[in-house]
Structure 1
């Protein structure tokens, strides 16, 4: 009876062991599936790696473009500043070229200047215009603010019986004069003008001759003026 029971059980154990052995020795369907998953993961990793490389390349390109734009922007800023500096320089130069003055002898009084024994610059006190601030109303002297060619004009007036003579000077050197010799039946009037080449700092002024007179009143008969024709 025992033998009859054991034999079937042993047969069952051998059958089970044989099945397990076959499962172990044969390819497992689950392992193949896992290997497929691993392969898929590897493919995804390759794709991600390529995407990361592409992103790195794009970042490098963007960085290069940013650097290029920064260089161009810096160059544009330099060009803009240079243009601004040139514009300001041209404006200053243009302002410097605006040189002109005009003045009459007496501010609001009426009377004569002279006669004098020692000549000194006539001081024209009533200033009409003084672009460039070249004329000094306290000394009567015009100082050239820049090198150039200038035009000057001066007028003088005297009454009957008065000798009148005025000369224009450049740095104490007489350049030209006007003269009226004691008219008996009319007032004396005279004028003169000259074009001079001046260096920066040259001085222009007028002087009475010794023992001569000039007259002025609010009508500004006696005057002195000049302007820059062009710079050199």
Structure 2
């Protein structure tokens, strides 16, 4: 009987040892898997750290280069002008590529507009707005085309035509453009074919205006 008990004990110890070996092997495998996951997480953390640093550098660059552009200037010299023709004139006598001279000045901040030449000279660089209006008399069939010239290039064009007697027609152009100091801006007639009378009096005006929006 004693030997039977001894054999049974040895058998049970073998089973327990085998189970312990199996459990230990499983634990080792799980530890290896966890270690691999930890290594991957550490690599991801390093990548995120690099991305955060790059993002911070980009934010500094953007914040350093970006400057809000305001339509109402709070620094630097202001520039604005507005002028109109003091009297009506015959369109055929106006000629081809002839500069319109707006001789009466209502506003000339910065003294950039010359009322004896009809030319505006930019005293400061920046983005400007320009508008011009031409009116055709309805007494006769009147028509004319007028274009805006900036630094020797045409950047806008309008055409006005009073087709029937008694109709007063006006046309307005509007251009926004960035120019340099010293650039000249003016309006001039287009090609041939001008007819009738271009009107500018107490009832309607042929005008030219411009102002600096921002630097």
The alignment's TM-score, normalised by the length of structure 2, stands at 0.58
Which structure: larger Rg?
A: 1
RMSD: 1.8
1:197 paired to 2:178: yes
Aligned residue pairs, count: 135
Higher relative contact order (CA 8 A, sep 6+): 2
State the SS of the aligned residue for 1:163.
Answer: strand
Q: Are the aligned partners of 2:131 and 2:172 in contact in 1 as well (CA < 8 Å)?
A: yes
Q: Are the aligned partners of 2:151 and 2:184 in contact in 1 as well (CA < 8 Å)?
A: yes
Equivalent of residue 193 in structure 2, options 211, 224, 229: 211
1:147 paired to 2:125: yes
Instruction: From the two aligned structures, give the one with the greater helix fraction.
Output: 1
State the shift of 1:182 in Å. Answer: 3.9
Q: Are the aligned partners of 1:149 and 1:229 in contact in 2 as well (CA < 8 Å)?
A: yes
Aligned residue number for residue 119 of structure 1 = 97
Alignment of 1:1-232 (within 5 A): 94=75, 96-106=76-86, 110-115=87-92, 116-160=94-138, 161-185=141-165, 186-209=167-190, 210-212=192-194, 214-231=198-215
The alignment's TM-score, normalised by the length of structure 1, stands at 0.54
State the shift of 1:137 in Å. Answer: 0.5
CA distance in 2, matches of 1:202, 1:166: 20
